Structure 1
Amino acid sequence: MADPTKRSDENGREPSSSDDANLSARLRSLDARIDRASAHHEVKESSARPTSDSSALGQAFRLSAEFVSGVAAGGIVGWLVDRLFGTSPWGLIICLILGFCAGMLNLMRAAGMLKSARHDEKR
């Protein structure tokens, strides 16, 4: 029976010291490549993270401010229209509805659900 502690290749010959040296060199080369790749991956991950990465609470405050500011601006403009032209309460109602729509549009843009408004591009 064959000795299980002895190694042999598929041709049945015993490995030489040059085979062990080649294997050790390949192993060191592989270790070096893995180390370089993992270091490159860590650097890439840290640089890929956006600098404006805000927390969930900060994002919630931003989104709520986008919506509330649209409604408040509509209410203020409506109140001014009613005072100037004496159209109470229609100016306030219409401008609040427009402010609500503008707030929703700003909210969706800030959340990334819609693309930002762009100027007409020449093609």
Structure 2
Amino acid sequence: MAKPDERKDGAGKPADGGPADLSARLRHLDEGLRRVAAHQPKDVEPASGSMSNQSALGQAFRLSAEFVSGVIAGGLLGWIIDRLAGTAPWGLIVCLLLGFCAGMLNLARASGAFPGWGGKSGQK
């Protein structure tokens, strides 16, 4: 490729080399790209920012749903126990605490914090 000072005329404007100059520059660029591609690993795909953000957002929604569902289930169960047994508010308080613990356990399982505790027996 020509040096920048060689490609300018006396007025400082780029010289028009025509189609031959353009073809030479394109060939040089193609050779450079081939050299760069030869040094990159073949099995690595470029990470797509939008796909990784969507995956992270999906996992965040899944983990939050795991936790919230445990707390809601505990609250509903406590409310039903209070209505049937007349023990208000103790059934609700105890079952909300148990629902919180169950939600935290579900959260830990879903995030992989306890690999041996996943729903499938025998797999680690």
What TM-score do the two structures reach when normalised by structure 1? 0.53
- Residue in 2 that maps onto 1:92: 92
Match of 1:59 in 2: 59
Aligned twin of 1:5: none
- What residue is the counterpart of 1:75 in the other structure? 75
1:50-78 Cα deviation digits (max 9, x unpaired): xxx86111111111000000000000000
Residues 117 and 58 of structure 1: is their aligned pair in 2 closer, same or farther, counting only changes over 3 Å? closer
Q: Match for 1:61: what amino acid?
A: F
Q: Write out per-residue CA displacement over residues 64-102 of structure 1, whole angstroms, 9 at most, x where no aligned residue.
A: 000000000000000000001101011000100000000
Percent sequence identity over matched residues? 63
Aligned residues: 78
* Matched letter for residue 81 of structure 1: I
Q: How well do the aligned residues superpose, as a CA RMSD in angstroms?
A: 2.6
> 2:104 aligns to what?
104
Gaps of 5+ in 1: 1-34, 47-52
Aligned equivalents of 1:83, 1:76: Cα separation in 2: 11
Q: 1 CA distance for matches of 2:120 and 2:91?
A: 30
Whole-angstrom CA distance in 1 between matches of 2:95 and 2:83: 13
Q: Distance in 2 between matches of 1:65 and 1:87?
A: 29
Q: Give 3-state SS (helix, strand or coil) of 1:55's partner.
A: helix
Task: Give the secondary-structure state (helix, strand or coil) at the position aligned to 1:71.
Answer: helix
For residues 10-21 of structure 1, the aligned pairs below 5 Å read none
- In the alignment, the residues of structure 2 paired with residue 60 and residue 118 of structure 1 have an alpha-carbon distance, to the nearest angstrom, of 22
- For 1:74, the aligned partner's letter is G
Higher Rg: 1
Give the counterpart letter for 2:98 in structure 1. Answer: L
- Shift, 1:45, TM fit: 5.6
- In structure 1, what is the Cα distance between the partners aligned to 2:104 and 2:82? 24
Q: TM-score, normalised by structure 2?
A: 0.53
In structure 1, how many angstroms separate the alpha carbons of the residues matched to 2:58 and 2:44?
Answer: 23
